Amino acid sequence: MKRVYNFSPGPSVLPLPVLERAAVEMIDANHTGQSVMEMSHRSKDFTPIIEHTESLLRSLMGIPSNYTVLFLQGGASLQFSMVALNLAGIEMGSPRKKAVYIDTGIWARKAADEGAKYADVSIRASSKDRAYTYIPQAPVPDPADAYYHITLNNTIVGTKWTELPETGQVPLVADISSCILSEPLDVSQFGLVYAGAQKNLGPAGTAVVIIRKDLIGKAPSWTPAMLRYDIHVAEGSMYNTPPCYGIYIIGLVLEWLKDLGGVEAIARLNREKADLFYTYLESSKLFRSPVEKPCRSLMNIPFIPSGINPDRRKDMEARFIREAAEAGLVNLAGHRLAGGMRASIYNAMPKAGVEALIGFMERFEKKEG
């Protein structure tokens, strides 16, 4: 069996033991004689799966009892709308509520653009002036603001928040798609967090929402049923058929993480992998990180050729990506809007994968002279 090292930002690498177990259970899950893909979501066979998955998530993240966990469809992108509708939505004809957004990259901007359809969005700080290579100083919100939204880890540009903004009584909301379970996170500091599964949790198609109970039930009456948190809460994530197989795989990933020693253990490994790669970039004469040091992500590491003219750089990047793929190091192209290269080293990326990438980069650098 040939396996490559997959540095994709999402859908991303999954733990090999999870894939192997899912393969074994594909046609007979939990001795039911059927695949999870075939199970009724309301059956006695699927209920233990979703309950076990939620229990594991609560344990690993230390989710307090006054928070509800939801497994929804639509990925994180649908949450851009659901957050605004449920936390700042108003009845027709009423003045719109203000919502604070901090612009730290393309996904943060997309969240703000969607939120602006339902709330009076105020972008209070931005790092666009330096191509999103840092996290800006976060201002204190007005007590009347409906919520305060950040993107905790910026997948495309490779930055992360190392200190959370002070928001007082204003609920802090965060997209944690590309950093969930990568290091400890105090959920109680947030009113709501959400994550698309396809980076650190499982396959694409599932979103996890963790919301404080006092924030549920605030959507205006005209909100579509599928976009109301209170309806999904009342139905236990089963108002409609949930992404059953995705929830099952998330459960297997969480079991794998628990067996490794939990979030503290994976955080140590993630810091080790990131330190290894950033140390190489600091010593390289050909490649460098464009991100300011205090803001560098553990999960997504962009890198670019240093001191190369634009025409040669484009050709060099194309050759690097092609030759890396031939060497079994795939999906290293940067985002189409950012260019360059990017290594996404999520929880499931082994240290050996980072070492293999560094070895290839050293050989490529030597060849380029």
CA distances from 159 to 10, 259, 291, 303, 353 (A): 16, 29, 7, 12, 21
Give me the mean pLDDT over the 278-304 stretch: 97
pLDDT at position 306 is 85
Place of tokens 């209920």: 47
| Distance from C-alpha of 369 to C-alpha of 366, rounded to nearest angstrom | 5
Give me the mean pLDDT over the 58-80 stretch: 97
Rounded to two decimals, the pTM is 0.96
Give me the mean pLDDT over the 293-312 stretch: 91
Task: Return mean pLDDT, the chain.
Answer: 95
Of 2.60.40.10, 3.40.50.2300, 3.40.50.720, 3.40.640.10, which CATH number belongs to 16-259?
Answer: 3.40.640.10
Longest Cα–Cα distance of the chain, Å, equals 66
pLDDT range class, residue 89, cuts 50, 70, 90: confident
Structure token digits, residue 284: 């390289």
Taking only the tens place, the pLDDT of each residue in 14-58 is: 999 999 999 999 999 999 999 999 998 999 999 999 999 999 999
Is the pLDDT at 108 greater than 80? The verdict is yes
DSSP output for 178-211: TTTTTS---GGG-SEEEEETTTTTSSTT-EEEEE
Q: What is the DSSP letter of 36?
A: G
pLDDT at position 369 is 66
Burial class (CB in 10 A: 0-12, 13-18, 19+), 77: middle
Would you list the domain boundaries of the chain?
16-259, 261-368
More confidently predicted of 66 and 307: 66
**CB count, 10 Å around CB of 191?**
22
Q: What are the catalytic residues?
A: 107, 175, 199
In sequence order, which residues have a C-beta less than 8 Å from that of residue 208 and are 6 or more positions away? 57, 69, 70, 71, 72, 180, 194, 195, 197, 201, 250
Cβ–Cβ < 8 Å for 174, 150: yes
**May I ask the CATH class of domain 261-368?**
alpha beta
Taking only the tens place, the pLDDT of each residue in 145-168 is: 999 999 999 999 999 999 999 999
More confidently predicted of 90 and 204: 204
Taking only the tens place, the pLDDT of each residue in 186-202 is: 999 999 999 999 999 99
pLDDT range class, residue 94, cuts 50, 70, 90: confident
